[in-house]
Structure 1
Amino acid sequence: MPEFSTFIGLSIGMVLTMVSCSPAPPPPEMQTPTSVSNPTSEDHPDFSIAGKVQEIESGEIIILSPENQNIRLRIPDQSRIWDGIGWVAEIPIEIGDDVVATGDWEENKLVFVVRNLYINIVYLRGTADEVDKENLRFTLDDPRQGKNAVIVNALTEVYLTNDNRQGAFQDLQILPKEGEYVEVIGRKLKDGTILSVNITIP
């Protein structure tokens, strides 16, 4: 089965790799550059950082890193939230959300300037079950992350690998079949359900 990043681009694919496959990121002074998004030059590559939102201010948030460090993130107007996918990016950030950001540090190393930001991003792989065509939802049983209720939005992007087709759900009107292996990239909501942004179906 093709790698999910083949379909949705290098940026979000690299972030998901960092979130789901890598250990917690090191403290700011020890962070290493990543290739998550296109750097402005070879001398200024992007850095990555993750944490839980503690405070929300105008144009900035403060997160608590896995190393229990409070880090201030500045989010300028040109920052790309959820790769610019508007209907997902418009969901407000709340205290307690998990965020992953790429960008660079200001010269004083006290503020991290965000280039790309992902809120409550999850990547699930497993078997579809309890497919509800009327309410546009299904359960995904991921061997590592357990069972998760997945919601399908009209604008959820669906990828059919066997047919080499893709499009918004509102156009394709295709849900996974029960017992079928699927991959889901989505945003976890407060009630624990996963709002699917991308669904890959064989």
Structure 2
Amino acid sequence: MIHATIKPNEIGLEFKVKPANIIFRILFLVINVACAVLAIGILFVPGGSPFGKLIGAVFLGAFVVFLSRSLLWNSFGREVYEISASEFTSINDYGWYKDKKKVTPLPQNLELHYIDTEYPQTISPLNENVVFQKKREYKIVFKVDGMFHPSVVDQKKEEMENFMKLLPEFQKIYGHAESDKG
């Protein structure tokens, strides 16, 4: 789901992750708790090599962090973009914490592209001539000063069509028409 906030010379975008099935999230939570208990339990098991126990606990701890991050992303995840003439900023928000901001200061050029998830290696220009298929999903890609910044959140046809309504706002900020390309 895409939520846009338009201010003078600034666009705020929020791409929300569709929450995973509740059974999947409960299974992730159970596995996560079991691994956390096992990681702590390994340290207190009598006998064995202390170094081996530490390595096992660290490995399971890293797995718990990975599972926790996946669980939060699939429950509360969203990508937040702040786009203006002065900077392009992206943040992955997991609900309980956020990744570090990725900032491109003073972008000279911003182009909008998309990826059809049936053809994940193909990045195509996003313009008013694009026709989206009903049963496919798409990813929005920002090309900022020659660097691609693909979204990881899949969008359906309706969301992409709503996003297309923002093209004039991008044109206002960057002074050229992405829609004239391709």
Structure 2 length as normaliser, TM-score? 0.26
| Bigger share in helix | 2
The answer to which structure, 1 or 2, has the higher relative contact order (CA under 8 A, 6+ apart) is 2
- Rg larger in 1 or in 2? 2
Q: TM-score by structure 1 length?
A: 0.24
